Amino acid sequence: MAALRDIGLAAAINVLSAFVFLVAFAILRLQPFNDRVYFPKWYLKGLRSSPPRSGAFVSRFVNLDFKSYVRFLNWMPDALRMSEPELIDHAGLDSAVYLRIYLLGLKIFVPITFLAWAILMPVNWTNNTLKLAKVTYSYIDKLSISNIPPGSNRFWAHTLMAYVFTFWACYVLLKEYGAVASMRLHFLASEKRRPDQFSVLVRNVPPDPDESVGELVEHFFLVNHPDHYLVHQVVYNANKLARLVEEWERKHNWLDYYQIKYSRNQSKRPVMKTGFLGLWGQKVDAIDFQTSEIERLAKEIVAERKMITNNPKSIMPAAFVSFKTRWGAAVCAQTQQSRDPTLWLTEWAPEPCDVYWKNLAIPYVSLTIRRRIIAVAFLFLTFFFMIPITFVQSIANIEGIEKVAPFLRPIIKIKFTESFIQGFLPGIILKLFLIFLPTILMMMSKVEGFISISSLERRSAARYYLFNLVNVFLGSIITGTALEQLKSFIHQSASDIPKTIGVAIPMKATFFITYIMVDGWVGIAGEILRLKPLIIFHLKNFFLVKTEKDREEAMDPGSLSFNTSEPQIQFYFLLGLVYAVVTPFLLPFIIIFFGLAYVVFRHQIINVYNQQYESGAAFWPDVHGRIIAALVISQLLLTGLLSTKEAAQSTPFLIVLPVLTIWFHLFCKGCYEPAFIRYPLQEAMMKDTLERAKEPNLNLKGYLEHAYLHPLFKKSESYDEDDEVNEKWEQESVLVPSKRSSRRNTPLPSKISGSSSPSPSLPEVVQEDPES
Amino acid sequence: MAALRDIGLAAAINVLSAFVFLVAFAILRLQPFNDRVYFPKWYLKGLRSSPPRSGAFVSRFVNLDFKSYVRFLNWMPDALRMSEPELIDHAGLDSAVYLRIYLLGLKIFVPITFLAWAILMPVNWTNNTLKLAKVTYSYIDKLSISNIPPGSNRFWAHTLMAYVFTFWACYVLLKEYGAVASMRLHFLASEKRRPDQFSVLVRNVPPDPDESVGELVEHFFLVNHPDHYLVHQVVYNANKLARLVEEWERKHNWLDYYQIKYSRNQSKRPVMKTGFLGLWGQKVDAIDFQTSEIERLAKEIVAERKMITNNPKSIMPAAFVSFKTRWGAAVCAQTQQSRDPTLWLTEWAPEPCDVYWKNLAIPYVSLTIRRRIIAVAFLFLTFFFMIPITFVQSIANIEGIEKVAPFLRPIIKIKFTESFIQGFLPGIILKLFLIFLPTILMMMSKVEGFISISSLERRSAARYYLFNLVNVFLGSIITGTALEQLKSFIHQSASDIPKTIGVAIPMKATFFITYIMVDGWVGIAGEILRLKPLIIFHLKNFFLVKTEKDREEAMDPGSLSFNTSEPQIQFYFLLGLVYAVVTPFLLPFIIIFFGLAYVVFRHQIINVYNQQYESGAAFWPDVHGRIIAALVISQLLLTGLLSTKEAAQSTPFLIVLPVLTIWFHLFCKGCYEPAFIRYPLQEAMMKDTLERAKEPNLNLKGYLEHAYLHPLFKKSESYDEDDEVNEKWEQESVLVPSKRSSRRNTPLPSKISGSSSPSPSLPEVVQEDPES
């Protein structure tokens, strides 16, 4: 068992790393040439167009005002200064509510920590069990429940505290759920007009030999919603087009790169190889080759676009249907349309920039099968991913390394190295493995066919949490592969499982303290440094950027990745709740994590992140549910632990707790969840009435007609003025920034034409830049 | 273990009893004076007003046509002759679909029985395990899976058959679900106009100091459903009134009784005692006393009615809201109205005669608590009800009786008594206990606050099934109280539970065969005899009936009690599926049950039962779900049994089966369940359009205005013409037969006035009989 010394060293290393990151950030952020990395949000909002300081030439790149370095933690109060309503206005409700999760952690754990340290620590400390047992133990163990002799009456204190902590957590959760629900409703009510308020996505339109999907949809809704139907847009399968455009963009980047290279060194035309990754193949003039490739692709793109619009086979049996009123849309989204419940399925349309267009082309019938397959795949991932981790971890301890590499013995035997290996390495190994996981999980969600980015992220988050629970939490506690766990669980009775895990919990406190420091503290400090975007921005800036506009595109503000950071927070909730009674020593580490993360993410949300979508805090029921799950798990494990401690009188009282907690959850669900999944008619009617009074002559049809056009079809006139495609979509809908355009800030076709003189001339494609 | 001899005797007794019942029925039903007991449906339908044969005076009471006795099973083909569409027309969809459950049993089990007897029986028979083991065994055991030696390859046959049976059952279930769903949709589409199609029940109307509930409801729906809202009716708390009316009716019956007594024997005025149950107290003249009591109650009723209508406190925060179109009602029922999801809750209104008025007065907030309390109460009932049963059963075996009453030994030792005790008694004891259960469960559902009789019955059925599963099925197999079972289950691992039960299953086959004969065969034969209604009718006929109308009221057709008979069927599904592979010998007993029950219930539905409500087969998802549950249970138990038989190669294949079955269930749920819980807008719109074309000048408001009036307020003018109450409800709504009136066929107030001359004169109440 690792001693307090190891913890001390790990803490020192981690605090130092975190400090280094923070200082690096403080220095880097003050350099004007990094301004677009650390303050992109202000550029995107149009509130800043160049770094603030621009005196001498040098100070345009390097900050020479040394006074500003002294106040290097200045950003912290700055980050906290903005009030919540301002924050909602500035960054959206999703971000504001996301921050509340960290605050919720503080609200729950600060009082719990005080109580646990004030009551449980003395109760634990004033025993001699560990001393009498003559086992090696650290001060952390002496402060934990392990130090209480079996059958002691002192366990009543722990039982009582379990109740107090549960009630406190539930109270805070209830308040928070209510607050978030009312924030959401207020936000939705005060929101400005958005196309998704009026629109519904209808899927599984039945095939009809006589009518096209468009006609079918129109007739169906004219008949069944005669007073409310306004307009519809069919969904095209534009996945091939998207691939072509992506390739076009890649080639264009290469062209830019070669052109800049050439302009810097005019003596030699750049050459390239045409083979795989440019490693072999014929040598050609790079600029000419890329130009011709782009030309070919541009032609293909135009052809493919024509094909899509003319070929009825590329129309999916789905459509975005818009209504005259929000009331009509709310009604259509919440009701069943057809007598066959698998046809004419309606659901709220996601915000246009939240739509994950690729998945709209998935036939609805295959969705069930896809979900089943992914469920099985996830099961396999969860149960077999652990094997390599456990293998590496088993090597990465003193004995393991000695066995595998006996020649390293002299190095290992040094006190410092030993502490390092025991206190630091297991956490790092685990973390390295976990870095690749979110991508895999996100891919899984995409295969499942969710049609909005927000739901993709929510699904991935749920999976990530489950994965963490099984592999990191249980896997670290009972140290065995998930498969082995499963095997032993099946052969144990239901009441023995919490016992097995409960007994192991106090012993793993040190490991999790290290984990919190590595993953939580250093991870968060690394988050604010934005090392990857920093490097990529400067690379792009050097190789690709020609105009100010290109520089804007090179900027990658990123966004809150809900699918990775929310499960991370949840894991700390779980650790905190599980160890609150068992080893209260762990709690301050969690509080520091929550505090630091809150400040860091508040800063990032204000200055950096640019959310792709706004779901109106639709993720809160998930957050709430997972904290409740953590509570129940902690209660079950405590029951299991105490039942092995012969605390027979107090254990039965603990069995009531999970029941009460689940009851509380159902109560909250009944009270608040509908606010997150349904849209009350009263609200819809109120907004409709208000709007009708304010803007009686609003041309809603014009507003909605092209709101749900595939982003690749937008700004189509820049390809070809007399294109058939344009005859269909004459009006340009600039009201709604599409996902792509909001990310790149200049939509694709304008780039085709907008890139200045050195770009190849494509007479049939390039006409003029509508934005220039 | 009971031998084949015991089974034979039990079968003989049971077949004889059933035969006696059937013969008795055949004789009794042909007697004209029993006509109203055995053919009430035809009277209620108005197709018959007096017994068919009415020649000589004697033959008005006794059937003297002896030829008709010869064909005493004549009713069976008669019952089968009516086609299903006719049946739906005659008795409603609920009854027709209910019959399909029995048919479903036949469809599933007839092929399974053939296969099991053709394949499994020879496989089991041609072994010598039991003979070699030198245990006592019967032929039934020799035909069961017990006769296969451990580790034998013959278990592959059982595994294969488990697959075949599962696939066959699922196939039949799927077809049936589809058929019932389309029958339901067709039924709803072709149904004539009914108030519930236009109405929605809104509950939890928030209190408002300035407006009454009625005003509030009207304003809310005028604002939020401006184009569709038509009219509403508030809900009164009339429970006190209902109690008064009930008492009034009871007293009136007594009055009738004494009057008839007096008219038969004019020499002596009947006297009665005023005390408890007429056992003690002051002696008074019975007719005078009852008359004055009735007078007093009538006054109280009028006063209470006035009070209810004038006192705003007796108005519940709930209302039936009716819409101009079915579309509007469908929209309102399926959507959320208010931003607070616990206010303005809307749901489909039940049919007026399906409403359980008493529960409408329960405040909505208390419902959650009531449900929790009942859940706990049901748990206790399930786990402690078994104690007395097991106690009695443990006495009721040979050794038990010998021990308790040694003096009975000579009697017990007689072969016949021994067989009787072993083969017959346990079943009867169990059955006796179970007779009281449905009433208790129904009371529980009522306390829970369901507001329609159909949902009350469905809920009770679900509870009854669970109870049967835990106490009858598991309780008989592992013979221990449910509490003991629970204790042992908790201490066993999840995979051991199916083993424990699985091993015991083959040994209990004889017991369940007896149970099927007692509960199934004799029970069903008893059902057709209608002994209780027969006796009550003749008692009433003798003591209370004065006019032809009274005779009509004395008739009690009863109805299909879904809450008791459906769980009974389900229990046979469970037995059949569990024993199909283990002891196929049991299957024919189940087939006989299904066949007999089908014919009997078809006869009863055609000739006797008068359904109170029509839910459009809304119970089918429950039926389907419970059969699936039985399938999964049978698969798990078979897996458990085989895993103890060292059939290691074939067991893993069985684990896949429950997964597949649950998957199948989810598929069915997705495809068909919405047809049972939601009302598609397309259907609503179609019916609306058709109706508008057919009857453009329909006065829908007049039709709906009083549809959801509490039945006690209907026909109110018979109390007092210038009553304030009547000013409010001027028009008499005779379109909708209320629950009470459909049952009694003459509503209460008409009885107050309608009873002829000897009834007391109540000048301020009795005016005239609107029906006479």
Give the one of B223, B493, B663 whose C-beta lies nearest to A493's C-beta.
B493
Cross-chain Cβ contact B671/A185 below 8 Å = no
Closest among A565, A438, A568, A465 to A516, alpha carbons compared? A568
- Taking only the tens place, the pLDDT of each residue in B28-65 is 777 777 777 777 777 777 776 666 554 555 555 566 66
Cβ contacts of B235 within 8 Å, gap of 6 or more: B315, B316, B318, B319, B320, B360, B361, B710
How much is the pLDDT for B255? 79
Cross-chain Cβ contact A682/B338 below 8 Å = yes
Kindly state the average pLDDT of the residues A480-507. Answer: 68
Torsion of CA B32, B37, B38, B40, to 10 degrees: 100
Element (H, E) at A322: strand A315-323
Mutation target to probe the A interface, by most A beta carbons within 10 A, among B681, B683, B687 is B681
Give the one of B339, B492, B685 whose C-beta lies nearest to A683's C-beta.
B339
Closest among B473, B7, B486 to A495, alpha carbons compared? B486
User: Does the pLDDT value for residue B674 go beyond 70?
Assistant: yes
Confidence of residue A426 (pLDDT cuts 50, 70, 90): low
- Average pLDDT over chain B, rounded to an integer: 77
Residues above pLDDT 70, as percent of chain B: 78
Tokens of B549: 């109308």
How much is the pLDDT for B620? 93
Tokens of B726: 């009547």
The chain B residues in contact with chain A (CB within 8 A) are 185, 220, 223-225, 227, 330-331, 334-339, 341-342, 344, 368, 372, 490-496, 663, 667, 670-675, 678-683, 685
Confidence of residue A17 (pLDDT cuts 50, 70, 90): confident
Nearest CA in chain A to B189: A339
Q: Is A495 helix (H, G, I), strand (E, B) or coil?
A: coil
Cross-chain Cβ contact A490/B493 below 8 Å = yes
Residue B144 dihedral angles phi and psi, to the nearest 5°? -100, 180
Alpha helices (H) along A673-734: 674-677, 681-694, 700-704, 724-728
Q: A185-189, B379-383, B592-596: which has the highest mean pLDDT?
A: B592-596
User: Of A85-99, A355-369, B85-99, B418-432, which gets the smallest average pLDDT?
Assistant: B418-432
User: Does the pLDDT value for residue A751 go beyond 60?
Assistant: no
Cross-chain Cβ contact B678/A336 below 8 Å = yes
Give the one of B185, B227, B493 whose C-beta lies nearest to A491's C-beta.
B493
Nearest chain B Cα distance for residue A348, angstroms: 13
Block residue for tokens 């004033």: A126
DSSP string, B287-312: HHHHHHHHHHHHHHHHHHHHHHHH-G
B408 contacts B494 by C-beta, under 8 angstroms: no
A503 contacts A642 by C-beta, under 8 angstroms: no
Chain B residues whose beta carbon lies within 8 Å of the beta carbon of residue A331: 331, 335
- Taking only the tens place, the pLDDT of each residue in B445-494 is 888 888 888 888 999 999 999 988 887 788 777 755 555 666 666 666 66
Distance between CA atoms of residues B542 and A728, nearest Å: 86
User: Of A421-435, B162-176, B427-441, which gets the smallest average pLDDT?
Assistant: A421-435
Q: Is B12 helix (H, G, I), strand (E, B) or coil?
A: helix
A421 contacts A401 by C-beta, under 8 angstroms: yes
Residue scoring higher pLDDT (A389 or B367) = B367
Chain A residues whose beta carbon lies within 8 Å of the beta carbon of residue B671: 341-342
Q: How many CB atoms lie within 10 A of CB B109?
A: 27
Q: A295-299, A479-483, A592-596, A726-730: which has the highest mean pLDDT?
A: A592-596
How much is the pLDDT for B164? 93
Give the one of A331, A663, A671 whose C-beta lies nearest to B342's C-beta.
A671
Cross-chain Cβ contact B334/A338 below 8 Å = no
Mutation target to probe the A interface, by most A beta carbons within 10 A, among B372, B682, B688, B689 is B682
- Taking only the tens place, the pLDDT of each residue in A365-420 is 788 888 888 988 888 888 776 666 666 666 666 666 676 667 777 776 777 777 77
How much is the pLDDT for A723? 43
Residues above pLDDT 90, as percent of chain A: 12
Give the one of A331, A336, A496 whose C-beta lies nearest to B680's C-beta.
A336
User: Does the pLDDT value for residue A744 go beyond 50?
Assistant: no
Cross-chain Cβ contact B494/A493 below 8 Å = yes
Nearest chain A Cα distance for residue B221, angstroms: 9
Torsion of CA B565, B567, B573, B574, to 10 degrees: -150
Nearest CA in chain A to B330: A335
A299 contacts A241 by C-beta, under 8 angstroms: no
How much is the pLDDT for A574? 93
Kindly state the average pLDDT of the residues B4-23. Answer: 80
Distance between CA atoms of residues A730 and A551, nearest Å: 31
Kindly state the average pLDDT of the residues B426-452. Answer: 80
User: Of A94-98, B116-120, B401-405, B749-753, which gets the smallest average pLDDT?
Assistant: B749-753
Q: A182-196, A725-739, B27-41, B71-85: which has the highest mean pLDDT?
A: A182-196
A1 contacts A510 by C-beta, under 8 angstroms: yes
How much is the pLDDT for B623? 93
Residues in chain B: 772
Nearest chain B Cα distance for residue A481, angstroms: 20
User: Does the pLDDT value for residue A646 go beyond 80?
Assistant: no
Mutation target to probe the B interface, by most B beta carbons within 10 A, among A219, A323, A336, A686 is A336
User: Does the pLDDT value for residue A732 go beyond 50?
Assistant: no
Nearest chain B Cα distance for residue A489, angstroms: 8
Chain A residues whose beta carbon lies within 8 Å of the beta carbon of residue B344: 682
Q: How many CB atoms lie within 10 A of CB A52?
A: 9
Distance between CA atoms of residues A719 and A709, nearest Å: 16
Q: What is the ipTM of this complex?
A: 0.75
Q: How many CB atoms lie within 10 A of CB B463?
A: 24
Tally A–B CB contacts below 8 A. 108
Residue scoring higher pLDDT (A96 or A290) = A96
Block residue for tokens 């419940």: A341
- Taking only the tens place, the pLDDT of each residue in A674-697 is 888 888 888 888 888 888 888 888
A290 contacts A237 by C-beta, under 8 angstroms: no
Tokens of A660: 């009460």
Closest among B161, B65, B69 to B112, alpha carbons compared? B161
Closest among A666, A650, A385, A645 to A498, alpha carbons compared? A645
How much is the pLDDT for B114? 92
Nearest chain B Cα distance for residue A659, angstroms: 12
DSSP string, B146-187: GGSPTT-TTHHHHHHHHHHHHHHHHHHHHHHHHHHHHHHHHH
- Taking only the tens place, the pLDDT of each residue in B298-344 is 888 888 888 877 777 788 888 899 998 889 998 898 888 887 777 88
Distance between CA atoms of residues B544 and B537, nearest Å: 10
Chain B residues whose beta carbon lies within 8 Å of the beta carbon of residue A678: 335-336, 341
Distance between CA atoms of residues B199 and B319, nearest Å: 10
Torsion of CA B260, B263, B265, B269, to 10 degrees: 80
- Average pLDDT over chain A, rounded to an integer: 77
Mutation target to probe the B interface, by most B beta carbons within 10 A, among A200, A225, A491, A493 is A493
Distance between CA atoms of residues A173 and A177, nearest Å: 6
Nearest chain A Cα distance for residue B675, angstroms: 7
Q: Is B582 helix (H, G, I), strand (E, B) or coil?
A: helix
Distance between CA atoms of residues B82 and B102, nearest Å: 16
Mutation target to probe the B interface, by most B beta carbons within 10 A, among A681, A690, A692 is A681
Confidence of residue A211 (pLDDT cuts 50, 70, 90): confident
Chain A residues whose beta carbon lies within 8 Å of the beta carbon of residue B494: 490, 493-494
How much is the pLDDT for A542? 75
- Taking only the tens place, the pLDDT of each residue in A138-171 is 777 777 787 788 878 788 888 889 999 999 999 9
- Taking only the tens place, the pLDDT of each residue in B713-749 is 765 434 443 344 444 443 333 333 333 333 333 334 4
Block residue for tokens 């009787």: B420
